[in-house]
Structure 1
Amino acid sequence: MTETTAKSATASDAGAEFDRQVRTLTDLGYPAMAGLAPEGFAALVAPLRADAVAHGAADGPQPYDPEGGRVPFLLVAPRNLAPIEETMPRTVLHGGNLPGFVDRSFEPGALERFVATRETGLPHGRDAGAYLLFGIERGEEFCGAVPHEAMDAIAGRGRTLLTIEEGIALITLFPRILVKNKCFSLGGSRSGDRRVPALWISGKAPKLGWCWQGNPHTWLGMASASTRSAAAARPQ
């Protein structure tokens, strides 16, 4: 199964897709970012493979349609393993070659303050491990909606908002999901003010920026997921 051709996922496919995601991150240098050899990185995330397969078996065939904005599961490395400043330049648009970047509107020290919200249930700090995100939707139905109203609507459905790291993982592993007029906010990371981080296209490259929670944009939706797995233990 490849990112460009997959349209549905079953339990048997899930293991192959998990392996593809691990290979992709390894080829992009994620093990070195985490201070691990490739074998060590593979061992770190290996316990998550069974969870990916189990969800595939329990949920049955799931839409694997990055162009349509839906992905059954995603391997996520938190920032203590893979810093945002290093992962964004490893993103590119589908068919492009310009590296992604963090917008300069993030003042010095701002990224460190954009952390996962309490509602995500994600831990902070150096011991946070890799995990899986399930049932991802790009959320273009919320293009043109006021961001804080979109976040409330998603919470009302029992879904969870994506964090910055999850958004970067999504466009890293599925570049086709970030397209013109169907970009997305990442309401699962906040800094205690009215800013909501988002991923969109600028200068033919992915950009991590932010928008005000009360300002709608016709080209910016709100990404969400159904659930997260327990994190794999971080090696000591």
Structure 2
Amino acid sequence: MPETSSTAAVPPLPPLAAQAERLIELGVHELAGIPADELRAFAANAGGEDSDALLAVHPDRVPASALAPLLRREDKPGFVVIDMPDVDSFAPVGIELPEAPLYLVTGLDRGDHMANWSPEEALPALTKEERTPLVLSEGIHWVLQQPAVLERNRCFMTIGSRLRKANGTLDARTPAIWISNGTGRDGRERRNAPKVGWCWWGNRHTWLGFGSATGRKH
């Protein structure tokens, strides 16, 4: 395995009630077809002010392509890279999401200690630790609720989402969320903006850890 980096402190999530209000403020509930009061009630019943968990909307209700532009960093909106037009076709693989429009993701970790690992190396290590990799929509929800989780040189992949080809094999791309340098096809105007992109399954990147959780519940 490659050398690992130390894990930096990741800011805690807001209380669930505040997370619900954040999603309502962004209009996520409308995109998902969920009444605002239903979202507030779920947050209250799921733990209210005391739960340190992420409130997520099922990706079947709101796809990554709709969530990414809601991200903000330095007043710049998030975006999906131009060569990932099939972003919404990336679906959970080896992961059972709750069969509910709203659910909680517990025990979030950015995976800084796995920076410079490849997805191929990281997945069995996460499995051994009894952790589950985040799917892309969960990673975006995390950054929506706590933008500070995305830092220069400390961003993360969401390898719970994969694209299955027509022949049944998995596409070699794996989704990730990081900060644009404003180079190439991103465009200079997008420098420092949150970016949903992809990396190869077998490649390592020093600035990317692996977002994971201890579990999901609804």
Compute the TM-score of the two structures, normalised by the length of structure 1.
0.75
Residue 199 in structure 1 maps to residue 170 in structure 2: no
Residue 32 in structure 1 maps to residue 30 in structure 2: yes
The root-mean-square deviation of aligned C-alpha atoms, in Å, is 2.3
Q: Does the 8 Å contact 1:51/1:229 carry over to 2? A: no
- How far does residue 128 in structure 1 lie from its aligned partner after superposition? 4.5
Residue 117 in structure 1 maps to residue 115 in structure 2: no
Larger deviation, residues 205-214 vs 143-152: 143-152
Secondary structure of residue in 1 paired with 2:152? coil
- How far does residue 78 in structure 1 lie from its aligned partner after superposition? 2.0
Match 1:134 to one of 82, 100, 106? 106
Change in Cα spacing, 1:153 to 1:54, as seen in structure 2 (3 Å) is farther
Compute the TM-score of the two structures, normalised by the length of structure 2.
0.81
Q: Supply the distance in 2 between the matched residues of 1:209 and 1:45 (Cα, whole angstroms).
A: 31
Which residue identity lines up with residue 21 of structure 1 in the other structure? Q
Q: Supply the distance in 2 between the matched residues of 1:168 and 1:45 (Cα, whole angstroms).
A: 20
- Give CA deviations for 1:31-58 in whole Å, capped at 9, x if unaligned: 221234xxx23314623533335984xx
Which residue identity lines up with residue 139 of structure 2 in the other structure? G
- Give CA deviations for 1:155-199 in whole Å, capped at 9, x if unaligned: 110010000110000000000000000010001101122211000
Percent identity over paired residues = 35
Which residue identity lines up with residue 111 of structure 2 in the other structure? G
1:173 corresponds to: 145
Q: Supply the distance in 2 between the matched residues of 1:42 and 1:228 (Cα, whole angstroms).
A: 22
Change in Cα spacing, 1:43 to 1:92, as seen in structure 2 (3 Å) is same
Residue 100 in structure 1 maps to residue 78 in structure 2: yes
Q: Does the 8 Å contact 1:115/1:190 carry over to 2? A: yes
Which residue identity lines up with residue 122 of structure 1 in the other structure? L
Q: Does the 8 Å contact 1:84/1:165 carry over to 2? A: yes
Q: Does the 8 Å contact 2:134/2:212 carry over to 1? A: yes
- Give CA deviations for 1:55-102 in whole Å, capped at 9, x if unaligned: 84xxxxxxxxxxxxxxx3100012332232221111012xx1000000
Change in Cα spacing, 1:35 to 1:179, as seen in structure 2 (3 Å) is same
Residue 74 in structure 1 maps to residue 50 in structure 2: no
Match 1:226 to one of 186, 207, 214? 214
Q: Supply the distance in 1 between the matched residues of 2:15 and 2:49 (Cα, whole angstroms).
A: 13
Larger deviation, residues 139-148 vs 27-36: 27-36
Q: Supply the distance in 2 between the matched residues of 1:83 and 1:8 (Cα, whole angstroms).
A: 25
2:166 corresponds to: none
Query: Gapped runs of 5+ residues in structure 2?
Result: 1-9, 164-169, 181-190
Which residue identity lines up with residue 91 of structure 1 in the other structure? L
Which residue identity lines up with residue 47 of structure 1 in the other structure? F
2:38 corresponds to: 43
Match 2:70 to one of 59, 73, 90? 90
Change in Cα spacing, 1:161 to 1:8, as seen in structure 2 (3 Å) is closer
How many residues end up aligned between the 2 structures?
A: 193
Which residue identity lines up with residue 199 of structure 1 in the other structure? I
More helix by share: 1
Which residue identity lines up with residue 198 of structure 1 in the other structure? A
Q: Does the 8 Å contact 2:159/2:175 carry over to 1? A: yes
Query: Gapped runs of 5+ residues in structure 1?
Result: 1-5, 10-15, 57-71, 231-236
Q: Supply the distance in 1 between the matched residues of 2:210 and 2:204 (Cα, whole angstroms).
A: 11
Q: Supply the distance in 2 between the matched residues of 1:54 and 1:154 (Cα, whole angstroms).
A: 29
Secondary structure of residue in 2 paired with 1:74? strand
Q: Supply the distance in 2 between the matched residues of 1:187 and 1:34 (Cα, whole angstroms).
A: 23
Q: Does the 8 Å contact 2:110/2:209 carry over to 1? A: yes
